[in-house]
């Protein structure tokens, strides 16, 4: 997959470009189906499949006071899009000048002349351009004169329902509720956070007998506080474990942490970046009356997590 981080990097139009546009936050099952259609159409016309996305997310640009939590930050989004078989990814800087481009200018000068669009695949409610004046109807109006095809893609419904479409907004809500097993059904993979292991309060192994990797969280969307069965990717291997997200109420720290106890693992991984995949939530975070009660509960958490991870074959 070729990546372009600015339209200026595109020096000539692509051959028979088949385009879709969006933020693709999460690269969920709906996005994956869209990419399949994109790739199939490109093969049909001997063309190039092209996804166009934006940085920052337009919702962040227009609502500067609110930070929309993202399911996947740039690094992971690029990795996931590449796995779909996409030929080209164009990430357009979303600036004041770009936001002011009229929809007609965007179609003619950018999509057709610069990129070489011969087909565009969009969702039923897609809008674009200054003040969202660009619509599917406008695309169809320009399609004949500029010789491109407009394909409208239907929604992909969530498993177990005939009505609710898969959307990034819905997945964000599910994750913040701690329902990571349900999020997996919509994402097509377990929800993942990434971060660097930093020095913690040095009590996991010394005081409790359960050494933990304390993560300096890089991702902005964090599951609900509590204890989770997880898998951990580090040192080019995948391990099983249990994670605690929260404030360690037994110790009255009131400091938010993400701590992961990796089963059957004792390597030194400080300052290394690791990836944590959330399989299932085990329980709420709880304040215990003494350390021995906490240790007993952690033992029970580990046993339950091992059972869940074995059943899920992760």
Residues 130 and 64 in one domain: yes
Residues 149 and 242 in one domain: no
Residues 140 and 197 in one domain: no
Residues 200 and 135 in one domain: no
Looking at the domain assignment, is residue 160 inside a domain?
Answer: no
Looking at the domain assignment, is residue 9 inside a domain?
Answer: yes
Tell me what pLDDT residue 235 has: 85
pLDDT tens-digit readout, 156-190:
887 766 557 899 999 999 999 999 999 999 999 99
What is the count of structural domains for the chain? 2
CA gap 193, 218 in Å, rounded: 7
Rounded to 10 deg, the angle between the 180-187 and 168-176 helix axes is 160
Q: Are 276 and 227 in contact (CB under 8 A)?
A: no
Residues 148 and 191 in one domain: no
Tell me what pLDDT residue 160 has: 66
User: The dihedral of CA 96, 100, 106, 109: what is its sign?
Assistant: negative
Last residue of a domain, one of 132, 153, 174: 153
Residues 104 and 186 in one domain: no
Looking at the domain assignment, is residue 147 inside a domain?
Answer: yes
Domain with residue 273: its CATH number is: 2.40.30.30
3-state secondary structure at position 114: helix
Taking the model in full, what pTM does it have?
0.90
| DSSP states of 138-168 | HHHHHHHHHT-EEEEEPPPBPTT-SSPBP-H
Tell me what pLDDT residue 198 has: 85
Output the CA–CA distances (angstroms, integers) from residue 248 to 38, 153, 270, in the order listed: 47, 46, 21
CA angle (278, 282, 285) in 5-degree steps = 100
Looking at the domain assignment, is residue 169 inside a domain?
Answer: no
Tell me what pLDDT residue 59 has: 79
CA gap 99, 116 in Å, rounded: 21
Q: Is the pLDDT of residue 128 over 80?
A: yes
Last residue of a domain, one of 108, 136, 153: 153
> What burial class does residue 143 get, using C-beta atoms within 10 Å of its C-beta: 0-12 exposed, 13-18 middle, 19+ buried?
middle
pLDDT tens-digit readout, 253-289:
677 889 999 999 888 888 899 999 999 999 999 888 7
Looking at the domain assignment, is residue 232 inside a domain?
Answer: yes
Looking at the domain assignment, is residue 172 inside a domain?
Answer: no
Tell me what pLDDT residue 205 has: 44
Q: Are 99 and 130 in contact (CB under 8 A)?
A: yes
Residues 141 and 232 in one domain: no
Domain with residue 147: its CATH number is: 3.40.50.620
The domain in which residue 9 lies consists of 2-153
Residues 120 and 66 in one domain: yes
Residues 142 and 192 in one domain: no
């Amino acid at each position: 997959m070729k990546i372009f981080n600015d339209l200026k990097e595109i020096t000539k139009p692509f051959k028979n470009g088949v385009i879709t546009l969006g933020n693709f936050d999460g690269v969920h099952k709906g996005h994956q189906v869209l990419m399949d259609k994109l790739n199939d159409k490109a093969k049909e016309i001997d063309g190039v499949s092209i996804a166009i996305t934006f940085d920052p997310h337009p919702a962040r640009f227009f609502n500067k006071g609110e930070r929309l939590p993202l399911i996947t930050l740039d690094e992971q989004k690029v990795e996931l899009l590449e796995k779909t078989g996409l030929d080209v990814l164009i990430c357009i800087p979303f600036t004041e000048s770009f936001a002011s481009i009229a929809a007609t200018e965007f179609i003619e000068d950018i999509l057709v002349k610069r990129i070489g669009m011969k087909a565009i695949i969009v969702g039923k409610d897609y809008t674009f351009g200054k003040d969202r004046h660009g619509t599917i109807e406008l695309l169809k109006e320009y399609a004949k004169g500029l010789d491109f095809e407009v394909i409208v893609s239907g929604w992909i419904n969530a498993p177990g329902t005939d009505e609710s479409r898969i959307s990034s907004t819905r997945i964000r809500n599910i994750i913040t509720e701690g329902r990571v097993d349900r999020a997996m059904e919509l994402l097509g993979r377990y929800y993942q956070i990434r971060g660097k292991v930093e020095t913690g309060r040095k009590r996991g192994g010394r005081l409790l007998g359960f050494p933990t990797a304390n993560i300096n969280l890089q991702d902005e969307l964090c599951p609900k506080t509590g204890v989770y069965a997880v898998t951990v990717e580090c040192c080019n291997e995948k391990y099983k474990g249990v994670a605690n997200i929260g404030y360690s109420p037994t110790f009255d720290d009131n400091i938010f942490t993400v701590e992961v106890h990796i089963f059957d693992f004792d390597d030194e991984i400080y300052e290394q970046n690791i990836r944590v995949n959330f399989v299932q939530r085990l329980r709420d975070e709880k304040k215990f009356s003494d350390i021995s009660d906490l240790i007993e509960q952690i033992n029970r958490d580990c046993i339950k997590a091992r059972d869940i991870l074995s059943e899920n074959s992760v």
